[in-house]
Structure 1
Amino acid sequence: MTRPLLVIFAAIALDAMGIGLIFPILPRLIEDVTRARDVASTIGILTALYAAMQFVFAPVLGALSDRLGRRPVLLISLGGAALDYVLMALAPSLALLVIGRAVAGLTSANIPVATAYITDISPEETRARRFGIFNAMFGIGFVLGPVSGGVLGDYWLRLPFFAAAALNAANLLLAWFVLPESRTPGHQTIDRAALNPLRPLRWALSMRSLLPVIAIFFVLSATGEVYGVCWALWGHDVFGWNGLWIGLSLGTFGVCQSLAQAFLPGPAVRLLGERGTVLTGIAGACVALTVMAFATRPWIVFAIMPVVALAGIATPALQALATRLVDDERQGRFQGVLASAMSLASIVGPLLFSTIYFAVRDHWPGAIWLSALAVNAMAVPLVTGLRFQSAAFADARQ
């Protein structure tokens, strides 16, 4: 394992921990500043705003990293994130929270830059395994982040935001002193058209061979949003969980997902192929969502966690496939497009699932998981019809 990879993985784990810290306390924080009981719709709007900023800026940061290099883009985004968490920690009103979440979405649009960094330094045959570790590091952050956030939030509601700011500052220092540049930046001047967030998306949508992969990313990402929006509300409504138990449940999920993504994607792709790996992940998610919908005891949720985490093996397989669909000069742009597709799903998903949860909360909160299952199943025909080959190379050079 090279030193740059270790630094990127550590940075991603710290980034995820900073994000995960605030999940257990976000509903209570919104209740505190709005004095309202039913905050599902507000959480959905804030989550959608966060994703909207990612949608706009992920392709921009990806394109900038192709021109300027990966390192400076990562450093700027990490510094902005640290300052933003301080702003949210001090926010006395919903309006400032909204501004803070918007800035957080902008700074978190650096994920495609980190993905492109891994692509720069990884041979094609190792990418599925390394993307699995990449996602596992994100999961490790969610082991420590939500648990710590739940504990800190029970002590003081604003404390997790200060902790998130400190983690992002540590992340910035780590990257500043240790992370080298992964590619020679382009010497072309950056024209204004290159900063148009819709331009890379139009570029990708013009190539039919890329559309199925983008659509699958969209569907799976939309389904994944249900956990961030509804988990804390559902856990409190059904089981009476406090911040600590919400954090522990999310942390357990993070452990299972990290183990699955660290060790299973490579062997699964060799055994099942990309198509079989993705379908296996979807099947695991559908089984787990069904069990959770009817769960009446907390231990059932913890028992099903390994099956929930099995869904995570689909994304590394898709990521490895996606890196073969365009040439090396366009990796940053294409990773930005994929991040934008996932961010677009993260706009639609929170609004959809928060609306559904608001409708079913008083009658059957568990029905929210069946709605997620229905969305997840939409990916099956897309996967079965997908051709896993590098035919997009010819299109990508246009």
Structure 2
Amino acid sequence: MPILFGVILLDLIGFGIVIPILPFMSPELGADKIDIALIIVTYAACAGISGPFWGRLSDRLGRKPVIMICLAGAAVSYGLLAMASVLWMIFAARAFAGVMAGNLGVASAMMSDLTPPENRARGMGLIGAAFGLGLMLGPLLGGVLAGDNGSFTLPCLVAGLMSLLAIIAAALFLPESVTAERRAASHRQHRDGSGQPLFTMLRETGNRMLVFQFLLHAAAVSSLTYLVPLWLGDLLDWRAREVGMVFGVQGAIIVLLQGGLLGVLVRFVGEWRLLRICILIFLCGLALAVFARTTGWMLSAIFLAMSGASLCMPLLNTITSYRIPAVFRGRMLGTTSSASSWGRVAGPLLAGVNLALFGYTGAWLGCVFIVLVYLTWALTAEPSLRRASPGTPES
């Protein structure tokens, strides 16, 4: 678990470096706000297409080689981004990065392999803590490397270096979590065609609506991530350095919540009740953003919304891992990762259109509507999530 945490952390620091960079890098090459949304959508759409593939491949070949392949792809994509001199090159770099973005789904499947059910939420919280640290250290590093002059080549190269370091760490220290027997079973199903089609598997395990919540969650979070740099830039005249510091502080909060408090909260409250509370906190932060116009209220809205949202994903992953046979775990978590990617397609597009038509008030209200649907499901769907899944859920 600590080794997996370290590998994913290195990768996510590189991912985090470009978060405060792209909204300011792209306009220098002629992009407007809609173009920035389309750049985010390009990455997410490619990740949505490739996510189930990486999950299935990790069931057949093992988690470790797939993680290393995806890390190599990330390193190449950052190098392409560093060389971007016209707008289409940014689109191409982010499209390739999306195709290779299978790590989080595969890492979640590996963490599920490594943890017994009673410690699963804590293990998923470690993945979330790695994301939080990456969100803290990456944007801070990206903002510092960009400097006052807004140089973007160096941050992109350093992001690529972080992925290369993660490959080395994985090669040297990361063990394989999928047993030879499970890999052989997955190979047999692939070879003789006995494996269930994806939609059949989701229907028979009762997980179709659960997968849809990954899409809703990601749509809301990606809308938030898209809007925050533009919001702070337009209303407060902040640049990459200041935006990076905001994400850095939020990353520290996420580390505290997911790395320290999540396991304790799950023991006292339970996964399902805690998920409802976190979605409600997410909703309150977005509702506050609708009315916030001063620095203090704007930052409060950002931190409240992101803190609530950050705890939802490990809880959703934990619930998902309980509801799928181990032999399909990579495939299922690859599917939920793909659903999240399609949410990251829909979110920035919706936010970008709302921003162009109705300003920031309309854009934030669109986010509020998405999370209201998400909360409605959480308040009404508990019985269906407690049905037993076909097959053996753990092995």
**TM norm structure 2:** 0.91
Instruction: Write the letter of the residue equivalent to 2:290.
Output: A
Are positions 1:255 and 2:252 aligned together?
yes
Are positions 1:174 and 2:169 aligned together?
yes
Find the counterpart in structure 2 of residue 207 from structure 1.
204
Find the counterpart in structure 2 of residue 220 from structure 1.
217
Q: Return the offset for 1:173.
A: 0.7
d(CA) in 1 for partners of 2:154 and 2:354?
A: 31
Q: Return the offset for 1:191.
A: 5.0
Q: Return the offset for 1:293.
A: 2.4
Are positions 1:282 and 2:279 aligned together?
yes
Find the counterpart in structure 1 of residue 127 from structure 2.
134
Given candidates 25, 31, 36, the residue that maps to 1:29 is 25
Q: Return the offset for 1:174.
A: 0.7
Instruction: Write the letter of the residue equivalent to 2:21.
Output: I
**Aligned counterparts, 1:55-66, within 5 A:** 55-66=48-59
Q: Return the offset for 1:238.
A: 0.9
Report Cα offsets for 1:242-272 as digits up to 9, x if no partner.
1111111111111112211223322332333
Report Cα offsets for 1:100-154 as digits up to 9, x if no partner.
1011112222211111111111111100011112101101111011111112223
Conserved? CA contact 1:67–1:190, under 8 Å: no
Conserved? CA contact 1:33–1:93, under 8 Å: yes
Instruction: Write the letter of the residue equivalent to 1:286.
Output: L
d(CA) in 2 for partners of 1:268 and 1:165?
A: 36
Conserved? CA contact 1:69–1:181, under 8 Å: yes
d(CA) in 2 for partners of 1:271 and 1:223?
A: 27
Given candidates 313, 325, 328, the residue that maps to 1:315 is 313
Instruction: Write the letter of the residue equivalent to 2:226.
Output: V
Find the counterpart in structure 1 of residue 42 from structure 2.
49
Conserved? CA contact 2:143–2:240, under 8 Å: yes
Gaps of 5+ in 2: none
**Aligned counterparts, 1:1-398, within 5 A:** 5-34=1-30, 36=31, 39-154=32-147, 155=149, 156-185=151-180, 186-187=183-184, 188=187, 201-207=198-204, 209-304=206-301, 306-308=303-305, 309-361=307-359, 365-386=360-381, 387=383, 388-394=385-391
Q: Return the offset for 1:89.
A: 0.4
Conserved? CA contact 1:260–1:310, under 8 Å: no
Measured at CA, do residues 200 and 101 of structure 1 come closer, stay the same or move farther in structure 2, by a change above 3 Å? farther
Q: Return the offset for 1:83.
A: 1.4
d(CA) in 1 for partners of 2:354 and 2:99?
A: 27
Gaps of 5+ in 1: none
**TM norm structure 1:** 0.90
Q: Percent identity?
A: 29
Report the secondary structure of 1:320's partner residue.
helix
Instruction: Write the letter of the residue equivalent to 2:240.
Output: G
Report the secondary structure of 2:85's partner residue.
coil
Q: Which moved more, 1:300-309 or 1:366-375?
A: 300-309
